[in-house]
Amino acid sequence: MNRDAASAPAVRLHDVGLSYGPTRALDGITLDLPSGCMVALIGPDGVGKSSLLSLISGARTIQGGRVEALGGDMANAAHRRRVCPRIAYMPQGLGKNLYPTLSVFENVDFFGRLFGHAKAERERRIAELLQSTGLAPFAGRPAGKLSGGMKQKLGLCCALIHDPDLLILDEPTTGVDPLSRRQFWDLIDTIRAERTGMSVLVATAYMEEAARFDWLMAMDAGRVLATGTPDELLMQTGAPTLDDAFIALLPEEQSSHHHAVVIPPRDTSHDDVLAIEAEGLTMRFGDFVAVDTVNLSIPRGEIFGFLGSNGCGKTTTMKMLTGLLEASEGRARLFGREVDPRDIETRRRVGYMSQAFSLYSELTVRQNLDLHARLFQMPAQAIPVRIAEMAQRFDLAEVMDALPDALPLGVRQRLSLAVAMVHSPEMLILDEPTSGVDPIARDALWQILVDLSRQDGVTIFISTHFMNEAERCDRISLMHAGKVLVSDTPAGIVARRGSANLEEAFVAYLQDAIDEAALPASDPPTAPAMLPIHATHAAPPPATSRSFDLRRMLSYSQREALELSRDPIRATLALIGSVILMFVIGYGINMDVENLSFAVLDQDQTTVSQNYTLNLSGSRYFTEKPPVRDYADLDRRMRAGEISLAIEIPPGFGRDAARGRPVAIAAWIDGAMPQRAETIQGYVQGMHAHWLTEKAQLLLGKKAALSSFALETRFRYNPDVASLVAMVPAVIPLLLLLIPAMLATLSVVREKELGSIVNLYVTPVTRTEFLLGKQLPYIGLAMINFLLLTLAAVTVFGVPFTGSFGTFALAAVIFVTASTGIGLLISSFISSQIAAIFGTAILTLLPATQYSGMIDPVSSLQGAGAFIGQIYPATHFMTISRATFSKALGFGDLTGSFLPLLLSVPVLLGASVLLLKKQAN
Amino acid sequence: MRVANIVNLGFKELRGLGRDPMLLLLIVYAFTAAIYTAARAMPETLNNAPIAIIDEDRSPLSSRITGAFLPPYFSRPEIITAAEMDRRMDAGLDTFSLDIPPNFQRDLLAGKAPTIQLNIDATRMTQAFSGSGYIQSIVTAEVAEFSQRYRGTSTPPVDLVLRARFNPELNKTWFGAVMNVINNITMLSIVLTGAALIREREHGTIEHLLVMPITPFEIMISKVWSMGLVVLVASALSLSLVVQGLLSVPIEGSVPLFLAGAALHLFATTSLGIFLATITGSMPQFGLLLMMVLLPLQVLSGGMTPRESMPEAVQLIMLGAPNTHFVMLAQAILYRGAGLGVVWPQFLTLAAIGSALFIFALGRFRKSLK
């Protein structure tokens, strides 16, 4: 749509720099990237490719220099808002910006809504995109259940839904099998053929892919090494391949590290010693057969390659071998011993590296290595030496004290591999260890593997998507849809198939298998007939630069609601759980202190003293315990909490009382619980007075009554002084605060922790739309909760509702908006889910139970607590709740509580919006 | 079981915690400012209870009664008319309204036993109960003194001497401070272990541990000791610096003994946290379940209202909760200065509950990993 600007550079960089702490990621990059063509950033891991892309896409705050994209300064928020509908950014990592519980269709649909397409338009585009990417048959499958290749295609669909003028892809094919990779690039070509003005900016570590790009930019150590077309680079360096050209471009000291991998022949004389055996290994997930009767027999010291499309069962097979998954059928043996999850001894001999990065992101590289060395029970004195050795071998020395999250994918992979090997295992099970690792590092890794196999006899079971790596294996197995298609030496497979090379043979085998199967079980590796994408621009581009767009907000609401509906346990817990809690608290909190245990130290033992005791024990408030023997007994029993009241009647009490001599009864009260002690005081005084009156009447006859009066106590609003009537209306605000706040906090912090927050950074959605959009479904859920609680209060608990329900409901809407707002506010400054849970609990539970008038009225509180109580929304809703439940009041009587409640909503939301960041730092 | 593994894994947990500055900040807040504010906010006995008086008698006696309501227990009484009473109580302005009828003094002296009406907003239950007792004794004392002066009659001179032990002034700050420490101990220990386990599952690190020569038992016990230690240190510091220091709450008994009890309690709650994590699938579910568990633990353990007044069934069920016993031993040791000789049953019970929870969680933990 920006065809006129086709000649101008798509991206202009001037002296761009970026630092992460002391690390300089980008250093003085000045460059123009041409528009309307495919530009690739190539270079090893950690040279700043991803950082640069995130700056160009606007996902990251610019630290230094000037970044212009599509003709404007990306440091300028107004420009970012204007152009972000024209930029699509797909971050690194398989499906990082997707929503795993949403289906394929729903994911694309969400992005479509975000960019403001109408329903018909959206459906048309989604149908086209899914058709052309071959995802159409899987439209209903949750994104989290897709294989890596399919996730990347889905990510592409989401990026393409709004016809971007600049498409930014960060390592889109890392971890994707060769067939899917081919399809992916074909797809991009088709799209570009349709949309000639579109610029595509790709970061990749695959040099063989780089050859198909129009313009390359080779990077190293945060700087640009060279730019030009692939041919120009080849000419410039005089190298035969881009791989070699890149190595030639590197500074002397780095390129000198590189050596071609040398594989000495294997000594096969001990091949009767089997390291891995599998017979009929089968894994079923429900109806789905993930792994179907796989047989393996791998001798000690062999490098065994495992190939296959994404999602064909390689990972599952590996997990069964390590004992992480229990096979549905069949048997597996490692070193001749049956795989048993409890077999600690075998585990020590195996190193495993899983596909997804699974080391501790909170530990540094060194701490991770150290921890694993210790856990594998290496001798303590050997550990530092071994760590130094691994650091040197895997080129990690410079990042030893960095946290894994700050490292590029390739370096993290090297770390994972180092961790898997730190304890010198006899067997390595490696699940795509080289995905995302640059060619030089990959060759270095392979040299290590080869040395381990040939010199130390380590058995290596490795899965990979790289054909040149497969060729280095002693034997390979080709897997598809859970079945092993063929197992042989790489040369044997090529010969058997009569293909030109291994990749051809691989594709040919897969095609056969697919043609045989009526229904493809996982990825359809056949490229479906590439439907052209009709980039008809009949529909005018929607106005997306508006500062508040209802549709964008609702697209977040809809997505959040969908996620909520995919997790019915969450909603059920919130609804059912709150009713249970109301029950527990309603019955549990009882201010009417009863059954207090007391004992008497009666040193008089007359009828009068016994009469006094009877006066107490006859009451429902007190329960008499065995008499106290002496002071020591009294002390012990009070300390143990056995009795909360002790009455001491002095010797000669009866006689003295009768003679009118002053005499005192002592009452010892356990003051450990002041509330209870006060109540006891009140009761004892009352009983004492009652006893005195009775005595006086006995002694003095009618005359005594003359001085008396009656104090008639009327408990209003709650005549039975039932705890339920008092507590239930207070519990509703409590629950409507705790649960919605917790859900709202986690909904935002979760996106931060799992990575999909990037969609806030690079799409036109504003912070207000994002927050309000996410809040809405939780307000809805909370209102259902409100109705349920009120219903339960009236029916199950029998608490009469006397006031105006309309008023109560209106207050509830405002209140749950405030309580979810509290959650959003908490989420804006917290980035880990653990801290979010604890923070929400501490910041809601305490004020709600202690400062909001649930037990002690706010007017009686003191200090900061009183202040919090006065401004806390729960206080005001609690007043309204009690007033409408028990005091038969309506809106007119409660304006004083409505005002502060109403005021809290914009304050909370405003603060959340201000604190939330629209870009990563 | 290897002690080295347990130690190493535990240090890993501690390091991980150290990487989350916001979480550390929240922990510090929870054990310092939150406790201080909450304890200070607690009204001292009956504090500023709002009272209004409808004086229809306007006699020396009625003004004598009016003058007897003094801060800090009561706010200065508002003198209102009968017509105003309902509106003021509806709006929640007054908790108590005392209606002294016309000719009260005359009727009293005439021996007609007149009636004073006391209206109480019974939705404010705490004030309702203790306040009505106070009001009754204040009015009775005033009337007695008044009538004694007029008629010289007297009741038998049997005096009641009330003494509150362990907290003579019934200072609620003492109580609130320690109870908030206890609540925080429970909350933090469940969150730290439970949420950390879910985090490991969500990030795939737990899978990594399971291919190593480590048993689920070692993983679990390492979480228990490390997170338990964090909470124990935090509560020890809180107790000595905030509770004893800033709030100057006198502690009768032995703090080490209390901390030993807290350690047993932590054994139970950290196991509970792990158990909750094994039955929930995601962090939001855990967050909700946490609320479901935490509220009853706090409200029904006897730390908020006395156990005696709860329904028997609730009392019985709550005997299975570690908090109940922890609150008992905390009150006994910290306020009443009880020694091990008194609280050993609670120690034993806590150990038993902790072991049961641990074994149960371990079983679930093994299953949930499959």
pLDDT tens-digit series, residues A827-839: 988 888 889 999 9
Kindly report the three-state secondary structure assignment for every residue of A717-781.
CCCCCCHHHHHHHHHHHHHHHHHHHHHHHHHHHHHHHHCCCHHHHHCCCCHHHHHHHHHHHHHHH
Enumerate residues 887 to 906 of chain A having a beta carbon within 8 A of any beta carbon in chain B. 887, 889, 893, 896
**Is A897 or A779 the better-scoring residue by pLDDT?**
A779
Question: Is residue B321 one of the residues assigned to a domain?
Answer: yes
Per DSSP, the three-state class of A821 is helix
Question: Is residue B313 one of the residues assigned to a domain?
Answer: yes
Question: Which residue, of A495, A516, A537, is where some domain finishes?
Answer: A516
Could you tell me if A692 lies within 8 Å of chain B, comparing CB atoms?
yes
Looking at the fold, whether A678 and A652 belong to one and the same domain comes out as yes
Whether the Cβ atoms of residue A340 and residue A539 lie closer than 8 Å to each other: no
Enumerate residues 197 to 216 of chain B having a beta carbon within 8 A of any beta carbon in chain A. 198-199, 202-205, 207-215
Looking at the fold, whether B344 and B196 belong to one and the same domain comes out as yes
Among A52-61, A641-650, A774-783, name the most confident range: A774-783
Whether the Cβ atoms of residue A637 and residue B336 lie closer than 8 Å to each other: no
Among candidates B143, B205, B285 on the partner chain, residue whose Cβ is nearest the Cβ of A358: B205
pLDDT band at residue B186 using 50, 70 and 90 as cut-offs: very high
pLDDT confidence of residue A531: 45
Query: What DSSP designation does A100 have?
Result: T
Q: Tell me, what CATH number does B140's domain have? A: 3.40.1710.10
Question: Is residue A539 one of the residues assigned to a domain?
Answer: no
Looking at the fold, whether B352 and B244 belong to one and the same domain comes out as yes
Q: Which of B162, B249, B342, B368 to mutate to test the interface with A (most CBs of A within 10 A)?
A: B162
Sign of CA dihedral B143, B147, B150, B154: negative
Enumerate residues 219 to 278 of chain B having a beta carbon within 8 A of any beta carbon in chain A. none
| Region label for A422, one of left (φ > 0), alpha (ψ between -120 and 50) or beta (otherwise) | alpha
Mean pLDDT confidence for A137-149 = 83
Which are the contacts of A275, defined by CB distance < 8 A and separation ≥ 6? A298, A299, A300, A301, A302, A334, A335, A426, A427, A459
Decide if pLDDT at A593 tops 80.
no
Q: Which of A315, A683, A709 to mutate to test the interface with B (most CBs of B within 10 A)?
A: A709
Contact across the interface for B128 and A372, Cβ inside 8 Å: no
User: CA angle at residue A470 from A465 to A471, to 5 degrees?
Assistant: 145
- Measured between beta carbons, the chain B residues lying within 8 angstroms of A588 are 296, 299-300, 305, 310-311, 314
Question: Is residue B127 one of the residues assigned to a domain?
Answer: yes
User: CA angle at residue A201 from A198 to A203, to 5 degrees?
Assistant: 155
Provide the residue type at A300 as one letter: R
pLDDT confidence of residue A508: 84
User: Prior bond to B284 cis, omega within 30?
Assistant: no
Among candidates A588, A666, A840 on the partner chain, residue whose Cβ is nearest the Cβ of B161: A666
Mean pLDDT confidence for A533-543 = 45
Among candidates B23, B30, B290 on the partner chain, residue whose Cβ is nearest the Cβ of A832: B23
Contact across the interface for A834 and B46, Cβ inside 8 Å: no
Per DSSP, the three-state class of A27 is strand
Nearest-Cα distance to chain B for A570, in Å, is 5
Decide if pLDDT at A41 tops 80.
yes
Compute the distance between CA of residue A52 and CA of residue A203 in angstroms, rounded to an integer: 10
Looking at the fold, whether B223 and B286 belong to one and the same domain comes out as yes
Question: Is residue A874 one of the residues assigned to a domain?
Answer: yes
Looking at the fold, whether A323 and A470 belong to one and the same domain comes out as yes
Query: What DSSP designation does A595 have?
Result: -
Contact across the interface for B205 and A636, Cβ inside 8 Å: no
Looking at the fold, whether B280 and B214 belong to one and the same domain comes out as yes
pLDDT band at residue A385 using 50, 70 and 90 as cut-offs: very high
Could you tell me if B43 lies within 8 Å of chain A, comparing CB atoms?
yes
- Measured between beta carbons, the chain B residues lying within 8 angstroms of A356 are 204
Angle formed by the axes of helices B33-41 and A833-846, nearest 10°: 10
Looking at the fold, whether A37 and A160 belong to one and the same domain comes out as yes
Could you tell me if B283 lies within 8 Å of chain A, comparing CB atoms?
yes
Decide if pLDDT at A528 tops 60.
no
pLDDT band at residue B357 using 50, 70 and 90 as cut-offs: very high
Looking at the fold, whether B12 and B112 belong to one and the same domain comes out as no
pLDDT confidence of residue A254: 66
pLDDT band at residue A257 using 50, 70 and 90 as cut-offs: low
Whether the Cβ atoms of residue A43 and residue A219 lie closer than 8 Å to each other: yes
Query: In whole numbers, what is the pLDDT of chain B averaged over residues?
Result: 85
- Measured between beta carbons, the chain A residues lying within 8 angstroms of B139 are 711
Decide if pLDDT at A529 tops 50.
no
- Measured between beta carbons, the chain A residues lying within 8 angstroms of B22 are 829-832, 835, 839
Mean pLDDT confidence for B173-181 = 85
The region of weakest confidence among A177-186, A255-264, A684-693, B248-257 is A255-264
How many independent structural domains does chain A possess?
4
pLDDT band at residue A535 using 50, 70 and 90 as cut-offs: very low
Mean pLDDT confidence for A365-377 = 89
**Is B365 or B266 the better-scoring residue by pLDDT?**
B266
Question: Is residue A186 one of the residues assigned to a domain?
Answer: yes
pLDDT band at residue A5 using 50, 70 and 90 as cut-offs: very low
Looking at the fold, whether B284 and B326 belong to one and the same domain comes out as yes
Enumerate residues 86 to 125 of chain B having a beta carbon within 8 A of any beta carbon in chain A. 89-92, 95, 104, 108, 111, 113-125
pLDDT confidence of residue B45: 55
Q: Tokens 């969609």 identify what position?
A: A759
Looking at the fold, whether B34 and B58 belong to one and the same domain comes out as no
pLDDT confidence of residue A519: 47
Decide if pLDDT at A537 tops 70.
no
**Is B216 or A23 the better-scoring residue by pLDDT?**
B216
Sign of CA dihedral A230, A231, A233, A239: positive
Decide if pLDDT at B333 tops 70.
yes
Decide if pLDDT at A129 tops 50.
yes
The region of weakest confidence among A54-58, A405-409, A896-900 is A405-409
Nearest-Cα distance to chain A for B58, in Å, is 17
Across chain B, which distance is largest between two alpha carbons, in Å? 93
Mean pLDDT confidence for A845-874 = 83
Of A158, A203, A160, the residue nearest A56 (C-alpha): A203
- Measured between beta carbons, the chain A residues lying within 8 angstroms of B330 are none
Looking at the fold, whether A693 and A736 belong to one and the same domain comes out as no
Percent of chain A at pLDDT > 90 equals 14
Q: Tokens 């899965």 identify what position?
A: A463
Question: Is residue A737 one of the residues assigned to a domain?
Answer: yes
Report the residue of chain A nearest B198, measured CA to CA. A834
Report the residue of chain B nearest A726, measured CA to CA. B123
Decide if pLDDT at B154 tops 90.
no
Of A835, A865, A860, A862, the residue nearest A849 (C-alpha): A865
- Note the Cα A587 to chain centre separation in Å: 36
- Measured between beta carbons, the chain B residues lying within 8 angstroms of A893 are 90-91
Nearest-Cα distance to chain B for A274, in Å, is 21
Question: Is residue B268 one of the residues assigned to a domain?
Answer: yes
Among candidates A682, A686, A862 on the partner chain, residue whose Cβ is nearest the Cβ of B41: A862
Question: Is residue B164 one of the residues assigned to a domain?
Answer: no
Provide the residue type at B123 as one letter: T
DSSP-assigned beta bridge partners for residue A476: A305, A488
Provide the residue type at B156 as one letter: P
Token pair listed for A669: 């009260």
pLDDT confidence of residue B356: 94
The region of weakest confidence among B216-220, B251-255, B366-370 is B366-370
Residue A381 burial by CB count (10 A; 0-12/13-18/19+): exposed, middle or buried? Answer: exposed
Could you tell me if A209 lies within 8 Å of chain B, comparing CB atoms?
no
Decide if pLDDT at B19 tops 60.
yes
Q: Which of B42, B73, B158 to mutate to test the interface with A (most CBs of A within 10 A)?
A: B158
**Is A360 or A713 the better-scoring residue by pLDDT?**
A360
Among candidates B34, B192, B205 on the partner chain, residue whose Cβ is nearest the Cβ of A846: B34
Query: In whole numbers, what is the pLDDT of chain A averaged over residues?
Result: 83
Which are the contacts of A245, defined by CB distance < 8 A and separation ≥ 6? A233, A234, A236, A237, A239
Among candidates B90, B156, B176 on the partner chain, residue whose Cβ is nearest the Cβ of A889: B90
Among A822-836, A852-866, B192-206, name the most confident range: A822-836
How many independent structural domains does chain B possess?
2
pLDDT confidence of residue A757: 87
Looking at the fold, whether A144 and A230 belong to one and the same domain comes out as yes
Compute the distance between CA of residue A436 and CA of residue A94 in angstroms, rounded to an integer: 11
Compute the distance between CA of residue A521 and CA of residue A34 in angstroms, rounded to an integer: 42
Mean pLDDT confidence for A704-727 = 68
Q: Tell me, what CATH number does A315's domain have? A: 3.40.50.300
Q: Which domain holds residue A511?
A: 274-349+425-516
ipTM above 0.90, yes or no: no
Question: Is residue B165 one of the residues assigned to a domain?
Answer: no
Enumerate residues 141 to 200 of chain B having a beta carbon within 8 A of any beta carbon in chain A. 143-144, 147-148, 151, 153, 155-168, 170-172, 174-176, 180, 183-184, 187-188, 191-192, 195-196, 198-199
Sign of CA dihedral B291, B297, B303, B306: positive
Question: Is residue B163 one of the residues assigned to a domain?
Answer: no
Decide if pLDDT at A56 tops 50.
yes
Question: Is residue A846 one of the residues assigned to a domain?
Answer: yes
Decide if pLDDT at A703 tops 70.
no
Percent of chain A at pLDDT > 70 equals 93
Could you tell me if A674 lies within 8 Å of chain B, comparing CB atoms?
yes
Could you tell me if B72 lies within 8 Å of chain A, comparing CB atoms?
no
Decide if pLDDT at A660 tops 90.
no
Contact across the interface for B157 and A589, Cβ inside 8 Å: no
Decide if pLDDT at B211 tops 60.
yes
Looking at the fold, whether B60 and B25 belong to one and the same domain comes out as no
Looking at the fold, whether A657 and A572 belong to one and the same domain comes out as no
Looking at the fold, whether A631 and A738 belong to one and the same domain comes out as no
Looking at the fold, whether B235 and B363 belong to one and the same domain comes out as yes
| Chains A & B: contacts with CB separation below 8 Å | 496
Compute the distance between CA of residue B64 and CA of residue A371 in angstroms, rounded to an integer: 77
pLDDT confidence of residue A530: 43
Decide if pLDDT at B268 tops 50.
yes
Query: What DSSP designation does A483 have?
Result: E
Decide if pLDDT at A532 tops 50.
no
Whether the Cβ atoms of residue A100 and residue A144 lie closer than 8 Å to each other: yes
pLDDT confidence of residue A911: 93
Four-CA torsion A735, A741, A746, A749, nearest 10 degrees: -160
pLDDT confidence of residue A539: 44
Of A647, A585, A645, the residue nearest A621 (C-alpha): A645
Compute the distance between CA of residue A476 and CA of residue A485 in angstroms, rounded to an integer: 11
**Is A260 or B26 the better-scoring residue by pLDDT?**
B26
Whether the Cβ atoms of residue A463 and residue A314 lie closer than 8 Å to each other: yes
Looking at the fold, whether A854 and A751 belong to one and the same domain comes out as yes
Could you tell me if A747 lies within 8 Å of chain B, comparing CB atoms?
yes
- DSSP per-residue codes, A289-335: EEEEEEEEEEETT-EEEEEE-TTSSHHHHHHHHHTSS--SEEEEEET
The region of weakest confidence among A344-348, A368-372, A477-481 is A344-348
Whether the Cβ atoms of residue B251 and residue B336 lie closer than 8 Å to each other: no
Interval A483-513: pLDDT, tens: 888 888 988 988 988 888 888 888 888 878 8
Across chain A, which distance is largest between two alpha carbons, in Å? 127
Report the residue of chain A nearest B151, measured CA to CA. A707
pLDDT band at residue B152 using 50, 70 and 90 as cut-offs: low
Mean pLDDT confidence for B74-86 = 86
Compute the distance between CA of residue B226 and CA of residue B17 in angstroms, rounded to an integer: 10
Compute the distance between CA of residue A460 and CA of residue A451 in angstroms, rounded to an integer: 11
Q: Which domain holds residue B175?
A: 3-42+171-369
Decide if pLDDT at B263 tops 90.
yes
Decide if pLDDT at A251 tops 80.
no
Interval A273-320: pLDDT, tens: 888 888 888 988 877 788 888 888 899 889 999 888 777 888 888 888
